[in-house]
Structure 1
Amino acid sequence: MKTSPVFEVRTIKNLRDMIEQSSKLFANKDAFRVKTKDNSYRGITFAEFKNDIDAFGTALLDLLGTEKGFVAVIGENRYEWCVTYLATINGVGVVIPLDKELPLPELENLLKQSNANAIVYSGKFHDAIKEMSSRLSNIKYFINMNTNEHEDDKFLSFWVLLEKGKKLLESGKKDYLNAPIDENAMSAMIFTSGTTGQAKAVMLSHKNICSNMMAVSASVYMDSTDSVLSILPLHHTYECTAGFLTMIYNGATITFNEGLKYIGKNLKEAQPTILILVPLILESMYNKIWEQASKDKSLKFKLKAGLFISNLLYKVFKIDIRRKLFKSVIDNVGGKLRLVISGAAALDPEVAKGFEAMGIKVLQGYGLTEASPIVAVNRDKSYRHDSVGLPLPGLDVEIINPDKEGFGEIIVKGDSVMLGYYNNDDATKAVLKDGWLYTGDLGRMDEKGFIYITGRKKNIIVTKTGKNIFPEEVEAYLNKSPYIKESLVSGRENDKNDETIVVAQIVPDMDAIKAKLKTDTVPSPEEVYKLIKAEIRAINKNMPVYKRVVDITIRENEFAKTSSKKIKRYLEKTNV
């Protein structure tokens, strides 16, 4: 299945070409708004951004030499991270974005595995990196984003190097500016934070990333009047491609979120028009709207009535008063938000419908790191809230070995498909076959080409009678309960060992349970179990008998998650 572009986009050969074009088209416009120590914001123009990229790249190349450098970068979302990424990929060598939430032994392991010869890091990692530095013989330089002076010959300052690069450029040094770029060679090494096992290093090229950026821009409208609040971690390809690089390509302005607990505050400060989110954050925002309304019966009635009226007027009479009707909600997210793109996991369609009724379009998409990462997305005027959308232009997407209901494995072919896994031929051969990427994701495609994801091939539960159960589908039912914060479903043999039953671990929402029981004290385990069990019985009535949850375990702690907020299933085993 192939689709056509919705919007015309400009062609870029590589990321250097992209930043050169953007810095000319949007020269004096702010590419970033960065918070200063006095809590005000200062703008950094596209022209200034390009100059900093060239300066830092020049300094890095001077340090590492003309042989391809491998530069790791780790830290919170910030301007220096973005400069490092593009400075490295546009003439120094291979950039290696790392997860700032990694346990230190794993960080050390990945730094060795990647063969990095330099690392640029946020100041808060200084002590940890200094401690492990003696064991990182492959790394020659440790570059701190937060210091204003070099510590010694190995521990250097990002800002001192930036100034050195500017002086080298002024003196006529053009090695970096003239460095050749091979669009088809590995330029980014991305360690996947997989939910089913150990991380693998995905090799991406300029061609991979640029083709994905152009295809996304040809599918969803964005322009230089837009702005985005960068919330998801930049090391994750979803945020890096969609929330950083695609925004720079389109001339949008980026502001950085200071942390999940500051989202509300930062939304009001930054006043973004676009957000790139995962369902966990978006659903939390939506639930808070209803929680506020639930505290006031008249407010709840007004909210429900408003949603009904806005939908009726908009869909039947084409009268759009949504943003006026829900001005207070819009103001709480900055006042200008028009579009949310949700990806990395399944989104409850009711959340998308609810935001749309308030005047905020929510478009769900689908992708994976191995595809740079976007594979499909809903369009501005052609969308379905229960689907992840249509394949991107330029990508072939097919469903292979479908069952009688049309569900099979999703495979992808096109310019954004990765080169392979770094130093891992066996893993590469397992997923790349004749140019097709075998995603391991299960789904179906309707007659219009819309894709519906069911779950991961590895997670599927097969009963003794041959029935297929997708844990993610059952979890979606469970998670609709206001008393269930999150759940993890798996299969287990029954006591007679003659059938597979569905069991679930449940993390209860204790605040909602206390409100239900009308108590300020922590409910007893027996009370919690009884309430959750009653919820499960009610939910089971909406599912076929073979999919129904038979047994549950109540958990006190939330599940371990990846940076894209997906549960690490391989760490969690259901024992009930």
Structure 2
Amino acid sequence: MEEPRYYGTVKELITATSETYKDDVAFRVKIKQGKDPEYIDHTYKDFIENVNSLGANLYDSGFKGGRIAIIGRNQYYWVVTHLACLFGGIVSVPIDKELPLGEMEDSLIRAGVDAVVFDVKNKEQIEQIKANGKTNIREFICMNDKSEEYRCIEDMVAAGRELTESVRQEFIDFMPSPEAMAILLFTSGTTSKSKAVMLSNRGLACNVSDLLVFEVFDEHSTNIAFLPFHHILGSTGMLFALADGMRTVFSDGIRYIKQNLTEYGVTFFLGVPALIDKMYETVEKGIEKQGKTATVERAKKLANFLLKFGIDIRRKLFKEIIAQMGGQLKYIISGGAPLSATVAQGFTDLGIEIYQGYGLTETSPVLAAENKGHIRAGSIGRPLPSVQVEFRDKDEDGMGELCAKAPNVMIGYYENDELTAEVLEDGWFHTGDLGYMDKDGYIFLTGRKKDMIVLKNGKKAFPEEIEILLNKIPEIQDSFVFGEPIDGDWTDLRIAVQVQYSAKELESSHGALTEDQIRDLIWEKIKDVNQTIPHYKRVTDLYLTEEPFIKTTSLKIKRKEQIKKVLEL
């Protein structure tokens, strides 16, 4: 692996790579929906020109050194706005478009933003926030709709081109401080009020530079920007695609993912396990429907046997199956939560390379990842080149808390020195994740420190590792494992699970069932799983529900809220 070339800022990194790929398409944007869709291509040269023009306009409008919130769906002018902020020393504040009005307003107030760039689909919320009059926001700018009421980003880009050379040059020549805050990002808040994380320009640029040498993909790959940009994995993934010379396209939504993979010839997909699991489940159901399950399994064995001799026929052999995912998909990157080993192996057997990464919002985000030739079962990979890792406060089994020191570690939590001091110590970030590293440098994680279930005998169980096993059961849509107090005593816990199921799906596969029969069916499957794990980790109580669990927008269970709901506390 070659040494990374590090840049002090995102501006230096993206400007350099955009010069290399200046005539290549950076973004393909659909401008007309329907049976005969129309598209417009933006080359890297066009894109940088648009960023510089918008940036000059923002400077001319008095926003230099300010803060701008961005609220909306993934789209071209979201990226242009974000990069104009990063290039010009304006703090970018991505806000989740799905937040309830009160939380959205609170985030804008806490961040102290000077302007909001919003999607027309969020106009109703914006109008209400304006009417409430609680913020000091100077201007609201529409991302994608022209009206007399608001300036529009597209018009601001055009106007920026017409500004005087001195105004434009001021923005182009400006170089942000590498250590200064570049992004103020609110976490999903699975257990409490969201934290505002300050990330630096250097941290973002360093993380992308590390990934460029750690993960090597085909030239001219096509990336679909599916993960929302208000999550750090989505926005850093977009920066990586730009730095790697990829062409980026935008999804029309989860219902259209298969159609989008086909129409754009997508080769590179960055997603979360919940979505990747669904993709694989759809593939498996398609094979089963055609009655080809046994045939495909035999073909996988043949392909894997030939692979030992350097003969790779997987993509030819499984061409029809890959066609269900657009036909061109070559790479899947999973992040945000543990990936099922079964799903990872399933895609690999088909000839689609799948790697998982690990990180947090506070680390910009990637700390460790798998890459070609370096995959070990159960591991989340090895640390990136600039990341130092230690496991501290180890128990008798050698398991400790993962701590990391790297340029991509956050500056701190905004206006919360006390919380910052709890997780940052002499530059070392305490992740809250427990695990260990083997002799070859592969990291293995067992669960979150705060989610750990400590039993009365001192044994420790982690909900996530049990949930991964339970979620493989076909009759279970999702599972939530928690420590249940015995006779109301929270110092004496047993392992319990709430299972989400679909009566309709169970009826189609098992016939009409009563609730007691459903409970018996699922419990028998759970007992089978129990036989594969240590006695103290075994599930001893079962709750059923057809309601989806309480989750964040990044699809993580809000465990404290869910346990209160289950136990009706």
Same fold (TM over 0.5): yes
AA aligned opposite 1:12: Y
Distance 1:524 1:62, change over 3 A: farther
Pick aligned residue for 2:55 from 51, 57, 64 = 57
The Cα of 1:524 is off from its aligned counterpart by: 3.1
Pick aligned residue for 1:29 from 7, 10, 24 = 24
Residue matched to 1:404: 396
Counterpart secondary structure, 1:177: helix
Gaps of 5+ in 1: 1-5
Residue matched to 1:44: 42
Residue matched to 1:200: 195
1:465-544 matches, cutoff 5 A: 465-495=457-487, 497=489, 499-519=492-512, 523-544=513-534
The Cα of 1:65 is off from its aligned counterpart by: 4.4
Residue matched to 2:435: 443
Structure 2 Cα separation of the partners of residues 203 and 78 of structure 1: 24
Tell me the alpha carbon deviations over residues 171-228 of structure 1, each in whole angstroms, 9 at most, x when there is no partner.
7642222334111011110101132222111101110101100111121103542111
Whether 1:558 aligns to 2:548 is yes
Residue matched to 1:3: none
Structure 2 Cα separation of the partners of residues 511 and 332 of structure 1: 25
The question of whether the paired residues in 2 share the 8 Å contact of 1:388 and 1:452 is answered with yes
Residue matched to 1:258: 252
Distance 1:551 1:172, change over 3 A: closer
Gaps of 5+ in 2: none
1:8-27 matches, cutoff 5 A: 8-27=3-22
Structure 2 Cα separation of the partners of residues 171 and 186 of structure 1: 26
The Cα of 1:291 is off from its aligned counterpart by: 1.1
The question of whether the paired residues in 1 share the 8 Å contact of 2:367 and 2:384 is answered with yes
The Cα of 1:500 is off from its aligned counterpart by: 1.7
The two structures have a TM-score, normalised by structure 1, of: 0.94
Structure 1 Cα separation of the partners of residues 492 and 129 of structure 2: 50
1:306-321 matches, cutoff 5 A: 306-315=299-308, 317-321=309-313
- Of residues 221-230 and 371-380 in structure 1, the stretch that sits farther from structure 2 once superposed is 221-230
Structure 1 Cα separation of the partners of residues 434 and 206 of structure 2: 24
Structure 2 Cα separation of the partners of residues 92 and 60 of structure 1: 11
RMSD: 1.7
Structure 2 Cα separation of the partners of residues 564 and 138 of structure 1: 29
The question of whether the paired residues in 2 share the 8 Å contact of 1:120 and 1:145 is answered with yes
Identity %: 37
Distance 1:172 1:539, change over 3 A: closer
Structure 1 Cα separation of the partners of residues 529 and 504 of structure 2: 21
1:403-422 matches, cutoff 5 A: 403-422=395-414
Residue matched to 1:185: 180
Whether 1:226 aligns to 2:221 is yes
The two structures have a TM-score, normalised by structure 2, of: 0.95
Whether 1:126 aligns to 2:123 is yes
Tell me the alpha carbon deviations over residues 546-567 of structure 1, each in whole angstroms, 9 at most, x when there is no partner.
1111111111211122232211
1:87-166 matches, cutoff 5 A: 87-134=84-131, 135-151=133-149, 155-166=150-161
Distance 1:278 1:496, change over 3 A: closer
Structure 2 Cα separation of the partners of residues 149 and 202 of structure 1: 34
Tell me the alpha carbon deviations over residues 479-504 of structure 1, each in whole angstroms, 9 at most, x when there is no partner.
11011111111112223958421111
Whether 1:364 aligns to 2:361 is no
**Ranges of 4+ aligned residues in structure 1 off by more than 3 Å:** 7-11, 169-173, 495-499, 509-512
- Of residues 171-180 and 251-260 in structure 1, the stretch that sits farther from structure 2 once superposed is 171-180
Structure 2 Cα separation of the partners of residues 509 and 378 of structure 1: 34
Residue matched to 2:423: 431
The question of whether the paired residues in 2 share the 8 Å contact of 1:352 and 1:385 is answered with no
1:311-390 matches, cutoff 5 A: 311-315=304-308, 317-390=309-382
Residue matched to 1:296: 290
The Cα of 1:433 is off from its aligned counterpart by: 0.4
Counterpart secondary structure, 1:36: strand
Tell me the alpha carbon deviations over residues 427-446 of structure 1, each in whole angstroms, 9 at most, x when there is no partner.
10000001100000111111
The question of whether the paired residues in 2 share the 8 Å contact of 1:482 and 1:512 is answered with no
The question of whether the paired residues in 2 share the 8 Å contact of 1:277 and 1:340 is answered with yes
Structure 2 Cα separation of the partners of residues 173 and 227 of structure 1: 32
